[in-house]
Amino acid sequence: SCAAQARSLAAQGAAIIDLGGESTRPGAKILWEGDELQRVLPVVHALRESGLVLSLDTRKAAVMEQGLAAGAHIINDVSALLYDDRALDVVRAKTCPIVLMHFPGTPQDPHSNDVYGDALTDVYDWLESRIAAVVAAGIDRQRIISDPGIGFGKRQVAHNLQILNGLSLFHTLGVPILFGASRKRLIGALSNEAAADQRLGGSLALALKAAEQGAQIIRVHDVFETAQALRVWRGLRDTALVPSATLA
């Protein structure tokens, strides 16, 4: 079951479990909110006493409202609260963290309008503006997490790499960074079009690159492998800070 899978992921090292009932892949159909609720609410109910931190990946106000009431802790909205007219009001009335993700198109099609002058600064400016608007609407900045939206309306490999190489810039937005590139097409494009289930190595490389630039949350599929890679990376860094013993 999904609840058992969530517990397994937590045991493998996941600090947050992200629950989503609607695909936002390119070309995916928009799901009716009733169907989305039927998919996610039973899982939230099953996990509400588990002690796990539950993130709800949705752009629909009804799902946010009922999901939070059922026990979810974080809202992760790929539309940055722009898809549903009620979403801003629902989140404002709560105290949960809210993830605002960049997308260049319309809230209905976050993969459209794939045009950038400079991808890094364009995405940064969009997030800066959106965060300002959400704060002005009454949501405390301390609740906001930014996501540059790797792969969302960024079909060119170069655009994604520009954002990734400059990820540390997003710290100047003054909010935590969520980075998600696990198994995305970017990896296939750089590795002979490897299928989604053959992208572990690339996913680990991108996760480590994001960690090096201080991303506070890294969204992954392969929890055990990523947690292990990050522990080794952290061990290397910690050891480097300890002075070596002097040989007489």
Q: Residue 191 has which token pair? A: 């590795």
User: Is 154 considered catalytic here?
Assistant: no
159: amino acid identity, one letter: H
CA 113, CA 25: separation in Å to the nearest integer?
15
Residue 235 backbone phi and psi in degrees, to 5: -60, -40
Which entry of 59, 60, 183, 184 is annotated as an active-site residue?
Answer: 184
User: Is 143 considered catalytic here?
Assistant: no
Mutual orientation of helices 119-136 and 157-165 as an angle, nearest 10°? 70
238: part of which helix (H) or strand (E)?
helix 223-240
CB 209 within 8 A of CB 160: no
Which entry of 60, 130, 143, 219 is annotated as an active-site residue?
Answer: 219
Give the angle subtended at the CA of 92 by the CAs of 89 and 95, to the nearest 5°. Answer: 145
Across-strand partners of 9?
none
* CA distances to 88, 91, 140 from 59, in Å: 10, 11, 19
CA 248, CA 246: separation in Å to the nearest integer?
6
- Enumerate the active-site residues: 184, 219
